[in-house]
Chain A
Amino acid sequence: MIKFLKLYEKIGIFILIVLASVVLSIMSPHFLQVRTLLSIAAQGTYAAIIGFGMTLALTMKAFDLSVDAVLALTSVFVAIFIPMVGVPLAIVFSLLIAASVGMVNGLIVTKLGVNPLITTLAMMTIIRGIALLVVGGRQVIITDPDRVFRVIGTGRIFGIPNQIYIMLLLFAIFFIMLYHTPFGRHISAVGSNESAARISGLRVDLIKIAVFMLVSFTAGVVGIIRTSQSLIGIPTMAPDFVLVVLTVAILGGTSLAGGKGNLWGTLFAGIFISMIYYGLNLLGVQIFYQIFSVGLVLLFALFVDGIRTRYLAIAKAKGIKM
Chain B
Amino acid sequence: MVELQARSLRVKIAQQWGSLGLPFLLVAVVILFSFLSPVFRTQFNFLSILRFASFIAISAVGMAFCIMAGEFDISVGSMMALVGVLGASFVPVIGGFAAVLTTIAISSFLGFVNGIFITKLKIPAFITTLGMMFVFRSLAYIYTDNVSVYIDNDFWLYMGNGRVLGIHFPIILMVLCFVGGYLMLRKTPFGRYVVAVGTNAKAAELSGIHVDRIKIAVFVMVGFFVGISSVVISANMGVANPGLLGQGYEFQVITAVVLGGTLLGGGNGSLGGALLAALILGSLRNGMNLMQVSSYWQQVVTGSVLIFAVAINRLRYTLMGQEA
A113 close to B (CB within 8 Å): yes
* B267-284 to A contact mask, C-beta < 8 Å, 1/0: 000000000000000000
A113 to B313, CA, bound (A): 10
A137 close to B (CB within 8 Å): yes
Partner pick for A299 among B117, B258, B306, B324, CB 8 A cutoff:
B117
> How far in angstroms is the closest Cβ of chain A from B76?
13
Partner pick for A295 among B135, B297, B303, CB 8 A cutoff:
B135
B188 close to A (CB within 8 Å): no
B48 close to A (CB within 8 Å): no
A305 to B324, CA, bound (A): 28
Q: B122, B128, B131: which has the most chain A beta carbons within 10 Å?
A: B131
Check A256 against B127 for contact (C-beta < 8 Å).
yes
A286 to B294, CA, bound (A): 32
Partner pick for B311 among A113, A246, A306, CB 8 A cutoff:
A113
Q: Which residues of B contact A294 (CB under 8 A)?
A: 134
Partner pick for B306 among A63, A118, A288, CB 8 A cutoff:
A118
Check B131 against A302 for contact (C-beta < 8 Å).
yes
Check B138 against A292 for contact (C-beta < 8 Å).
yes
Asked, given contacts A118-B307, A299-B131, whether A291 binds B299 with beta carbons under 8 Å apart, the answer is no
> How far in angstroms is the closest Cβ of chain B from A316?
15
Check A129 against B296 for contact (C-beta < 8 Å).
yes
B2 close to A (CB within 8 Å): no
Check B306 against A296 for contact (C-beta < 8 Å).
no
* A288-315 to B contact mask, C-beta < 8 Å, 1/0: 1101101110110011011101100000
CB contacts under 8 Å to A, within B141-166, are 141-142, 145-146
Q: Which residues of A contact B299 (CB under 8 A)?
A: 125-126, 128-129, 132
Partner pick for B314 among A113, A256, A296, CB 8 A cutoff:
A113
CB contacts under 8 Å to A, within B162-190, are none
Main secondary structure of the interface of B (DSSP, over half): helix
How many of chain A's residues have a CB under 8 angstroms from any CB in B?
Answer: 44
CB contacts under 8 Å to B, within A121-136, are 121-126, 128-130, 132-133
Check A299 against B135 for contact (C-beta < 8 Å).
yes
Q: Which residues of B contact A132 (CB under 8 A)?
A: 296, 299
Q: Which residues of B contact A63 (CB under 8 A)?
A: 126
Check A246 against B251 for contact (C-beta < 8 Å).
no
Q: Which residues of A contact B117 (CB under 8 A)?
A: 299
* Closest partner residue, chain B, to A287 (CB atom): B141
User: Closest 5 A-B residue pairs measured CB to CB?
Assistant: A129-B299, A126-B303, A292-B138, A288-B141, A295-B135
A-B contact pairs, 29 of them (CB 8 A): A113-B311, A113-B314, A115-B310, A117-B126, A118-B258, A118-B264, A118-B310, A123-B307, A125-B299, A126-B299, A126-B303, A126-B304, A129-B298, A129-B300, A130-B296, A133-B300, A246-B130, A286-B141, A286-B142, A292-B142, A295-B131, A296-B135, A298-B127, A299-B128, A299-B135, A303-B121, A303-B123, A307-B121, A310-B122
Q: A126-B300, A286-B141 are known contacts; what are 16 more A-B pairs with Cβ within 8 Å?
A: A114-B310, A118-B306, A118-B310, A121-B74, A126-B303, A129-B303, A132-B299, A133-B297, A243-B130, A256-B123, A292-B138, A292-B139, A295-B135, A298-B127, A306-B122, A309-B122
